[in-house]
Amino acid sequence: MLAILTPLMRVIEIPMTFLEKRLGMKNPAWLFLLPNLLLFGIFALLPVALNLAYAVTGSDAILLADRPYVGGDNFSALLQCDSYLDPNSCKDDLFWRAVHNTLLFVVLQVGLMVTFSLCTALILNRDIRARGFFRAVFFFPVLLSPVVVALIWKWILQREGILNAWIDGMGWQTFNWLLDRNWAFGWSVFLSIWAHMGFYTLILLAGLQAIPRDVYEAAKMDRATPWRAFRRITLPLLMPTMLVVLVLATIKGVQTFEEVYAFTGGGPGTATTMIIQYIYETGFAGAPRLFGPASAASLLLAAVLVVLTVVQLWLNRNNVDG
C-alpha cells in the first residue's frame, strides 16, 4: 500500500517543499491541512449550512431560490406531541416511532455489542493458539456490505430457511420471523451486532495489548484475584479505549439504516423504521419530496449526536487531547 503511494509522495514533495520555503517555517501545519479542509468545507460543512437553509424553508422545490421561508414551522410540526412517550399522540407519528425505534436500537445494540466485543477481546488477549485466525473470524463480517449482510440473514430466516428447517427438525413450530414486530426488531439488532462487533473487538484488543504485562504480575504479587485484577486494572486502563469505542459505536448506531432497510424495509409496519429511514423516505423516496421536514429532522438528529459526542469526548478529554 505504502509502496503504491511513494511516487505520489515524491511528486507532492516538490510543490510542498517550495511552499514551505516560501512561507517560511511559520506554519507548515496549514499546508498539510489544506487539502483535507478543502474537501471538508465543500462536502461536509457547506452541506450542513445548506441543510439549515432547507430546514427553514417549505414546499417541494429543490432550488433554494424557489423555496419560501417558513421559519420554525418544520421543527414545530415535528415536535408537536401530547406525550413524547407515545408516538401515536404526535402530529408526525412516524418520526416519533422512528425516534423510539432508534433509541431502543442504539441502547440494545451498543450495549450488547460493546459487551460482546469486550468479552471477545479479552478472550483473544489470552494466551491462545491461532489468535490471528480467530481474530480474523470475528472481523470478517465487518467487511461485508450492508446489502450482503441483509441478504445472508434474510436467506437464513426466511419462511423456508435453514433456521425454520432446524426448528422443524426439532419438532417445534416454525415461525415467520420477519413478519413479527418484536422478532424483526430483535433480529435487526442481532444482525447489526453480528456485522459490526469485529471492528470494535479489534480496537479493544489493541487497547488490551497496550496494557503492560508487569502490571498484572505486580497485581499477582499483591494477591489480587483474577476478577479483582480485571476490575481494578484491566477496566480502568482500558477505559480510554472503551470510551473511543462507545463514541464510535453510538455514532454509528444512531445512523443505522442500510442493513436494516435492506433486511426488513423498515417493517413489518413501522417496527424497524429508524430515523435515517424516516429522513430518506420523507426527503427522497416519497412524493412529494418534503425536504423541509427531512432537513429539520436531520438537524435534530445532528444536534443529538453533537451533544452525545461532546459529553463522551469530555469524559475522555485527557486521552483525546494528548
Partner 1 sequence: MANVISFLTRTRGIGKLHWTDWLTYGYLFLGVLLMFLPVIWLGLSSFKTEAELERFPPRIIPMQQETIIVEGYDEPLPLYEIVSGEFEGETLAQIRRVGLVAQMIRPDNPDERLKVDINDRQAIEKFALATENYSELFDRFNFFKFFWNSVFITSVATMIMLTVNSMAAFALSKYQFTGRMVVLGLVIGTLMIPQTVVLVPLFLITKELNMADSLWGVIIPGAATPTGVFLLRQYMLTIPDEILDAARMDKASEWKIFWRIIVPLSAPAIAVLAILAIMWRWNDFLWPLIVLSSNDNFTLQLALNSFQGEMNTQWSNLLAMTMLVLLPIACVFVFLQKYIATGIASTGGK
The correct pick among 61, 70, 156, 239 for binding partner 1 (CB under 8 A) is 156
Is residue 85 close enough to count as binding partner 1 by CB under 8 A?
Answer: no
- Min. distance of Cβ 286 from partner 1 in angstroms? 13
CA dihedral 101, 102, 103, 106 (to 10 degrees): 120
Is residue 311 close enough to count as binding partner 1 by CB under 8 A?
Answer: no
Is residue 25 close enough to count as binding partner 1 by CB under 8 A?
Answer: yes
Is residue 79 close enough to count as binding partner 1 by CB under 8 A?
Answer: no
Which is closer to partner 1, CB of 162 or CB of 235? Answer: 162
Place of cell 491541512: 33
Is residue 135 close enough to count as binding partner 1 by CB under 8 A?
Answer: yes
Residues in 224-253 that interact with partner 1 by CB under 8 A? 244, 248, 251
* Alpha carbon distance 160, 174 (integer Å): 9
Is residue 134 close enough to count as binding partner 1 by CB under 8 A?
Answer: yes
The correct pick among 57, 78, 146, 278 for binding partner 1 (CB under 8 A) is 146
Is residue 283 close enough to count as binding partner 1 by CB under 8 A?
Answer: yes
The correct pick among 104, 107, 136, 215 for binding partner 1 (CB under 8 A) is 136
Which is closer to partner 1, CB of 21 or CB of 85? Answer: 21
Is residue 202 close enough to count as binding partner 1 by CB under 8 A?
Answer: yes
- Min. distance of Cβ 184 from partner 1 in angstroms? 18
Is residue 208 close enough to count as binding partner 1 by CB under 8 A?
Answer: yes
